[in-house]
Chain A
Amino acid sequence: EVQLVESGGGLVQSGGSLRLSCAASGFSFRSYWMTWVRQAPGKGLEWVANINQDVSVKSYVDSVKGRFTISRDNAKNSLYLQMNSLRAEDTAVYYCARVGYNNYEVDYWGQGTLVTVSS
């Protein structure tokens, strides 16, 4: 069974930093693109960042470029999101998710971790 379990969320002051982690199990982690998607309270889904299997490709939504860094450790079956210079508008539930083989579909999602940035 595919499982994605996020951790590391919490309350942080504006300008602060936080590192999210995602532990993957039940599949060959090193074989898949992975992604972070966030959802602000009462709002829709927003893609945050992608990373490919061998870390040679990383992409970010414009609003987090230069502040967030996506990374992975295939030996530990783990995905990370380092978030610096946090702003109030970064407040959201952050989902770790797997990108499927077909055509960039997100086929498995974690339960999400809440990040709250206080101003």
Chain B
Amino acid sequence: QSVLTQPPSVSGAPGQRVTISCTGSSSNLGAAFDVHWYQQLPGTAPKLLIYGNSNRPSGVPDRFSGSKSGTSASLAITGLQAEDEADYYCQSYDIRLSGLVFGGGTKLTVL
């Protein structure tokens, strides 16, 4: 049982927009800790996709965007491409656990 809750899977056709939700609690997202998002392609290490709720590291396309409100956050991907098919994880810090917390991951399928 992950501390942050994500849907196990989402799907969309090329060109469409999908969103992935991430729900936390008062000891992490609700405690004003930022949410971050990672993309993990099959067989590779995770890669930072969004940091500080809505910021993109250099090189990440602007098709990826993030937002946070209270104890919830979401990742949006517009203009879906086949190369976006991957697992996506949200992450934050938990004051009660004194450590990083991850969502269970969401598998994105591009139809």
A interface with B by C-beta (< 8 Å): 35, 37, 44-47, 49-50, 59-62, 95, 99-100, 102-112
Contact = CB atoms under 8 A, between A and B. Distances in A.
Contacts of B102: 37, 44-47
Contacts of A104: 33-34, 36, 91-93, 100
Contacts, number: 75
Contact of B46 (A50, A62, A103, A109): A109
Interface stretch (B17-25, B47-55, B77-85): B47-55
Contacts of B89: 44-45
11 contacts: A37-B102, A44-B102, A44-B105, A45-B46, A47-B101, A61-B99, A62-B97, A95-B46, A105-B34, A108-B48, A110-B45
In the complex, which range does the number of interface residues on chain B fall in? 20 to 34
Given A95-B45, A112-B45, A47 B100 contact: yes
A59 B101 CA distance: 12
Nearest to A46: B102
B50 to A, nearest CB: 9
Given A44-B2, A105-B34, A100 B51 contact: yes
A105 B48 CA distance: 8
B44 to A, nearest CB: 8
B100 A37 contact: yes
